[in-house]
Amino acid sequence: MSSQLEAFVGALSRLLGWIYTFCWSASFYPQPIDNFRRKSTTGLAIDFPTINVLGFVCYTIYTASFLYSPVIRRQYAARHPLSEEPTVRFNDFAFALHAIVLSGLVYTQFWPKIWGLKVSRFQTVSKPIAGLFWGSFIAVAVVIYIVLAKSPDDGYEPSTWAWIDVIYALSYVKLVITVVKYVPQVWVNYKRKSTRGWSIVQILLDLTGGVLSLVQLVLDSAFQNDWSGIAGNPIKFLLSNVTIFFDLIFMVQHYILYRDAKDKDDGAGPDVYSPLLSHSNDAAANA
Tell which residue, 29, 37, 89, has the closest CA to residue 63: 89
Inter-residue contact 72 to 66 (CB < 8 Å): yes
What does 52-87 look like in DSSP terms, one character per residue? HHHHHHHHHHHHHHHHH-HHHHHHHHHH-TTT-S-S
Report pLDDT for 245. Answer: 95
Q: Where are the domains of the chain?
A: 3-285
Q: What is the number of alpha carbons within 13 Å of residue 23 lying toward its C-beta?
A: 20
- Which ranges in the chain belong to alpha helices (H)? 3-26, 30-38, 47-68, 70-79, 90-108, 112-115, 127-150, 163-192, 200-223, 228-232, 234-252, 279-285
Report pLDDT for 286. Answer: 35
Q: What is the pLDDT along the chain (287 residues), one digit of tens a residue?
A: 567 777 888 888 889 888 988 998 999 999 999 999 999 999 999 999 999 999 999 999 999 999 999 999 999 999 888 776 887 888 889 889 999 999 999 999 999 999 999 998 888 888 999 999 999 999 999 999 999 999 888 889 888 999 999 999 999 999 899 889 999 999 999 999 999 999 999 999 999 998 998 888 888 777 766 666 566 666 667 878 888 999 999 999 999 999 987 454 444 344 444 444 433 344 333 32
DSSP annotation of 124: -
3-state secondary structure 219-265: HHHHHCCCCHHHHHCHHHHHHHHHHHHHHHHHHHHHHHHCCCCCCCC
pTM of the predicted model as reported, rounded to 2 decimal places = 0.78
Across 4-28, b (16+ Cβ under 10 Å) vs e yields eeeeebeeebeebbbbbbbbbbbbb
Report pLDDT for 273. Answer: 41
Report pLDDT for 44. Answer: 94
Q: How far is CA 157 from CA 62, 64, 132, 147, 154, in A?
A: 19, 20, 31, 10, 8
Any idea of the CA torsion for 245, 248, 33, 188, to the nearest 10 degrees? -80
Inter-residue contact 181 to 47 (CB < 8 Å): yes
